[in-house]
């Protein structure tokens, strides 16, 4: 449940209510907005005298939250969240552009792509060092060596970096080298991994599971937040449907649904959603138009010879074109690139 304080409630008033709740063994989550102060309550409500709290003059109303996700819930935190990623940020007013290869292949390849995406306007370099491939015989990633190249590319270009983690061991390594962690679609409900990234201080991009409902996805975000990490962004990357013309089906309505249900930023990945490079630009425009806080796009110096996801990877020229052509959409949505 949430407790909405009266507009004229003082810090002492809020503190008094917090003390009552904590005395009953429950936890509180304070959200101070421009208009209202909201106290989220987490724990066993049966231990609490809710009527007594509702009767306090500093309390405007007590509202039950029926959804199982609380910290990720917009009712808990009505203002949209924003958080720093190295020297940039994800959140309102900004359009965060994450771009780079599907997989880190060599130091030279990564550096060349990093410079190109930075020149085009990206602020976060993506690159996989642990690749959860469908076939065990496909390239599995350079692991820690790839992470080191990500760090070098970041040091040289100033770009923030994001890398997928697939295990607790990968989390332990990645925190030493990159600015943001990614939990991939195949691991969205790997609850032990969610708890591990929740224990770190790095922001986390949580991709939507291949067949996950929005509710399951928000509960997965809740796992990360409940482990102590509030800096989570959600990434719509297409879901599995009966359609075979595209690799997945981009669910843009998810962006609208999420904007209604959560304060967490929403990123759209048109590369994995379609698997086809010519569909990336139109869907990137559509994603920005419907309110996405950022895009994740795969870019490669030589897509024909990429070790993974070549068919969906953009050339530098194509990425330049996307960056140029999404500008009016970003402007209309009130976001800076
Ligand atoms: C990726 O970003 O490289 C990736 C594997 O994405 P997804 O988890 O969305 O398939
Ligand atoms: Mn990929």
pTM: 0.96
Distance in angstroms (rounded) separating the CA atoms of residues 271 and 257: 21
Q: 334 C-alpha to center of ligand 2: Å?
A: 29
Say if residue 33's pLDDT is above 90.
no
Report residues whose beta carbon is within 6 angstroms of any ligand 1 atom: 102, 128, 164, 184-186, 207, 237, 272
Looking from the CA of residue 128, the nearest atom of ligand 1 is 3
Q: How far is CA 5 from the centre of its chain?
A: 30
Query: Going from the N-terminus, what domains does the chain have, and what CATH number goes with each?
Result: 2-63 (3.30.70.1140), 83-332 (3.20.20.70)
pLDDT of residue 306: 97
Pairing status of strand 2-5 against strand 37-42: antiparallel
pLDDT of residue 140: 95
Q: Residue 13: helix, strand or coil by DSSP? A: helix
- Residue with CA at minimum distance from ligand 1 atom 5: 184
Summarize pLDDT for 120-142 with one digit per residue, the tens: 999 999 999 999 999 999 999 99
Summarize pLDDT for 150-180 with one digit per residue, the tens: 999 999 999 999 999 999 999 999 999 999 9
Pairing status of strand 294-298 against strand 204-207: unpaired
């Amino acid at each position: 449940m949430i407790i909405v304080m009266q507009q004229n409630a003082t810090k002492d008033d809020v503190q008094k209510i917090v003390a009552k709740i904590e005395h009953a063994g429950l936890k509180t989550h304070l959200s101070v907005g421009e208009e209202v102060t909201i106290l989220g309550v987490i724990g066993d409500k049966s231990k609490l005298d809710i009527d007594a709290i509702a009767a306090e003059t500093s309390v405007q109303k007590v509202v039950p939250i029926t959804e199982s996700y609380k910290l990720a819930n917009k009712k808990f935190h009505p203002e949209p969240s924003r958080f720093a990623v190295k020297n940039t940020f994800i959140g309102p007013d900004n359009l965060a552009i994450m771009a780079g290869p599907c997989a880190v292949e060599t130091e030279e390849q990564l550096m060349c792509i990093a410079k190109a995406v930075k020149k085009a306007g990206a602020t976060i370099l993506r690159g996989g060092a642990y690749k959860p491939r469908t076939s065990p015989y496909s390239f599995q990633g350079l692991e820690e060596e790839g992470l080191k190249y990500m760090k070098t590319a970041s040091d040289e270009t100033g770009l923030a970096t994001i890398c997928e983690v697939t295990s607790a061991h990968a989390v332990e390594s990645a925190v030493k080298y990159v600015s943001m962690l990614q939990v991939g679609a195949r691991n969205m409900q790997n609850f032990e991994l969610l708890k591990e990234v929740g224990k770190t201080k790095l922001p986390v991009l949580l991709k939507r599971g291949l067949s996950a409902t929005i509710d399951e996805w928000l509960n997965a975000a809740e796992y990360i937040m409940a482990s102590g990490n509030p800096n989570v962004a959600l990434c719509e990357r297409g879901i599995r449907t009966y359609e075979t013309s595209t690799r997945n089906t981009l669910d843009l309505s998810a962006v609208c649904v999420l904007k209604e249900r959560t304060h967490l930023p929403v990123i759209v990945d048109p590369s994995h959603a379609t698997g086809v490079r010519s569909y990336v630009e139109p869907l990137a425009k559509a994603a920005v138009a419907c309110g996405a806080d950022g895009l994740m796009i795969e870019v490669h110096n030589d897509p024909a010879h990429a070790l993974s996801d070549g068919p969906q990877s953009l050339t530098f020229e194509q990425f330049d074109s996307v960056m140029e052509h999404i500008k009016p959409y970003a402007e209309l949505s009130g976001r800076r690139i």
